[in-house]
Amino acid sequence: MPAKVILNPYSNRWNAQKRWPEAEAALRAAGVEYELAVSERPKGSVELAAQAARDGFSPIIAAGGDGTVGDVVNGLAQARPEQALGQLGILPLGTANDLVANLGLPASLEEAARVIAAGRTRTIDVGCVNGLYFANNSAIGLEPYVTTKQIKITRIKGILRYLVAAVQGILDHPTWQAQVEWEEGRYAGPISLVTVGNGARTGGLFFMSPHADPADGRLTFVLAYRPTRLSTFAILPKTMDPKGDFVHDAGVQEVHTRWLKIQLDRPSPAHTDGELFAEPVSQLDYRVIPACLQVLAP
């Protein structure tokens, strides 16, 4: 049976649709046999991936960005047992393509197609929060608050859009009171954000969970509170350093855990793989599903 390609044409603000002929040529040059399914509405990739999995297609290839990969993973989880989500290929057509970077996958479509054709896989974990699955990261607080800013920016393209949105979000300086509990600890007090990583990089620029390992059977979360705008701006450049030394700053902690529970005093935006929840939430229940996804990799 051929592979099934799930194309999200809106990814990277319709750039994925413009680049599809390039991706198609790369697949053909690599000798990949496939059937194409195109998402025609928000979250349509979830339904298409679920149906492809039920129909027995393997691998299933996400053609888009991190949000598309997350949607495809959710579709696989709908159709298959959590511990055996199957094989996933990625054609990077998004803006940031963070999971691709975190896994060391090729950024060029020609090389990505050759990786898919070779058929070698790397097994990784997947995160789950409130019934939604994510391959790379999730967050509440300032990080998804910045996403609400980013989606409103229309005149700036590419990674710079994320940076401008981050500055706008920091100027608003949202904070919450939180009760946070995990395997070996708990925290009660103010937060600026809690970011939960299966991978280290998010937003194309930021290493928000810098020591996350997508194959260690754990999620890595960073809990941070910055009391002023100035102190938040001071830490922003540090989050762009892959060494992740910012996790040692005052008011910041990084923890590896198999589960995490968060209760907020008021609802916050939340996201999985860059896709916002339909509504702000005040309670989140995270867990890891270890070694459940086979990603086609060099």
Mean pLDDT across the stretch 67-72? 98
What pLDDT does 151 receive? 87
- Using 50, 70 and 90 to split pLDDT, how confident is the model at 154? confident
pLDDT at residue 219 is higher than 90: yes
Residue 270's pLDDT band, with cuts at 50, 70 and 90, is: very high
- CATH number of the 137-290 domain: 2.60.200.40
Report pLDDT digits (tens) over 181-209: 999 999 999 999 999 999 999 989 999 99
Task: Give me the phi and psi of 240, to 5 degrees please.
Answer: -90, 0
Nearest to 116 by CA among 54, 33, 25: 33
Percent of the chain with pLDDT over 70: 100
Measured N-to-C along each axis, helices 160-172 and 142-150 cross at an angle, to the nearest 10 degrees, of 120
The pLDDT, as a whole number, for residue 96 is: 92
What is the pLDDT, as a whole number, of residue 1?
A: 81
| 60 within 8 A of 53, measured Cβ to Cβ | yes
Residues 6+ apart with CB under 8 A from 261: 180, 181, 182, 283, 284, 285, 286
Residue with tokens 């960005």: 65
Cβ contacts of 163 within 8 Å, gap of 6 or more:
205
What pLDDT sits at residue 162?
Answer: 85
Q: How far is CA 70 from the centre of its chain?
A: 6
- Identify the CATH homologous superfamily for domain 3-119: Probable inorganic polyphosphate/atp-NAD kinase; domain 1 (3.40.50.10330)
Contact 64, 275 (CB under 8 A): no
pLDDT at 155 (0 to 100): 83
Phi, psi torsion values for 195, nearest 5 degrees: -115, 135
Looking at per-residue pLDDT, the higher value among 12 and 288 belongs to 288
Residues 6+ apart with CB under 8 A from 208: 137, 139, 143, 195, 197, 200, 201, 202, 222, 239
Mean pLDDT of 133-140: 98
Q: What is the mean pLDDT of the chain?
A: 96
The C-alpha atoms of residue 81 and residue 99 are separated, in whole angstroms, by 22
Domain segments of the chain as ranges: 3-119, 137-290
Which phi and psi angles does 6 have, rounded to 5°?
-105, 110
Does position 108 have pLDDT exceeding 90, yes or no?
yes
- Give 256's pLDDT tier (boundaries 50, 70, 90): very high
Higher pLDDT, 83 or 89: 89
Q: What is the pLDDT of residue 209?
A: 98
